[in-house]
Amino acid sequence: MNDKSRKCSSNVSTVSIVKVAGTGKKQLKIGLEHFFEIHGGLRKIIPAHTNKILIKPNLMMGEPWTTGITVNPYMVEFLVTFLKKEGLEVIVGEGAGWGCKSADAFKKTGVADICDHLGIPLIDFKRGRGVHIPVPEGSLLKDVLVDEIVPECDFIFSLAKMKTHCETTVSLSMKNMKGLITEDRERLRFHLLDVNRCLIDLNRVFKPDFSIVEGIIALEGIGPLKPGKPKPLGIVAGGKDPVSVDAVCARIMGLNPADIRHLEYASLAGLGTIDKNEIEVTGESVEAVKPDRYECPPQKIEKLSPYENIKIINGNPCSNCVASLASYLHGYIDKKIIERATSNIEILIGGKARSSGTGREIAIGNCLKKYRGKLPFVSGCPPPSDAYLELIDRGLKGNFDIATVNSNCKVVFINKNNET
């Protein structure tokens, strides 16, 4: 059913939503065929002069698509097959997230086998040669470092997952472009500067030419990893303007696109529109597919703790530290240590967090290693979720002896000379 309730302007951007009647391969094929029919077929989407197409799926971790973390691998298979039928040259490329080898993600998601079977190059952007591409009107970045094959492609197909994200609120088409960046430290720069603005600079030079968001099994809660939870919605949405695609997906997730910083910046930068009056929704309407409830991440890192006696001091951490701490606080923590607590604690997280000398502080993550020997400190980048236990347990009992949790999750006590 079409969404006829909005007004169309002459500059309308079209976003289509189709339902997929199950999680099987056959249902997905029917759904995607229907999706492309609505858009008048692939040839209408791809300009005649196109030489090389890059498919950029979200394969950020070695997690199966049913977790809500990575995209359905059969989306890649069908899209490659459809494009090959049109005689187009296609490559698939991705650089997995922090701490994950792309090869591991490719294998565990099943995309490595699919590309192998189809005889399609599958490029690991974390291992390729990087080239600096200038960002002419960048607000924070003068250039972006991407795999050298990316600028060779004249059409980018984004295959994103519909996900919540604790730093950017949503992870959709525009966020998916971050996987083009070749090096972990270069990606870290996004987080240290301001990931929401850096995403806009990246999309100024590498904006998807067509974007599809898979929400057959989306992710809700504290994403983009666990403790985010799979949310079956049975939909696929997409269109030419990634900003309006993301805006429509945000509305499906129960969010106002204007409240999502990188979407608002994108519209102000002229990369696309988030204005409902300038977006035509075809296929299903937003209202028809929107769930009654879609759990979103807290808007502020400070709100990440569900416990009154655990306060978070926000120093602009990247999503890896946030996801790791969130999985501990929302998943692994033993609720009894909260009930037995005799002290409050303050957790410093992110490189810009500063100690205010309350005597109840614990610093986490290598960004804060300057506090090793000065505060209880959990090392790691990010620390594994189970590394927090001992120091948080001790802190909640009022014990803030100077100690460090090392990479084996062992507590090491340190004297004033920083010796163990």
Binding residues for ligand SF4, rule: CB under 6 A, are 188, 317-318, 320-321, 350-351, 365-367, 381-382
281 in Cβ contact with 317 (< 8 Å): no
Record the tokens describing residue 304, joined without a space: 């990440």
| 115 versus 321: smaller Cβ distance to ligand SF4 | 321
Q: Any bridge partners for residue 229, and if so which?
A: 220
Query: Shortest approach of ligand SF4 to residue 187 CB, angstroms?
Result: 10
| 122 versus 347: smaller Cβ distance to ligand SF4 | 347
Closest CA to 93 of 157, 36, 45: 157
Closest CA to 97 of 196, 5, 226: 226
Residue 117 burial by Cβ neighbours in a 10 Å radius (0-12, 13-18, 19+): exposed
Query: Shortest approach of ligand SF4 to residue 23 CB, angstroms?
Result: 32
Query: Shortest approach of ligand SF4 to residue 152 CB, angstroms?
Result: 31
Closest CA to 271 of 172, 168, 201: 201
| 191 versus 207: smaller Cβ distance to ligand SF4 | 191
| 272 versus 317: smaller Cβ distance to ligand SF4 | 317
Closest CA to 127 of 183, 178, 81: 183
Closest CA to 60 of 193, 163, 198, 167: 163
Query: Shortest approach of ligand SF4 to residue 251 CB, angstroms?
Result: 30
Query: Shortest approach of ligand SF4 to residue 214 CB, angstroms?
Result: 27
Query: Shortest approach of ligand SF4 to residue 175 CB, angstroms?
Result: 17
| 117 versus 185: smaller Cβ distance to ligand SF4 | 185
| 376 versus 382: smaller Cβ distance to ligand SF4 | 382
Q: How far apart are CA 307 and CA 28, in angstroms?
A: 41
36 in Cβ contact with 212 (< 8 Å): no
| 156 versus 392: smaller Cβ distance to ligand SF4 | 392
Query: Shortest approach of ligand SF4 to residue 368 CB, angstroms?
Result: 7
Q: How far apart are CA 25 and CA 28, in angstroms?
A: 5
Q: How far apart are CA 226 and CA 169, in angstroms?
A: 15
Record the tokens describing residue 122, joined without a space: 């599958």
Closest CA to 191 of 415, 390, 382: 382
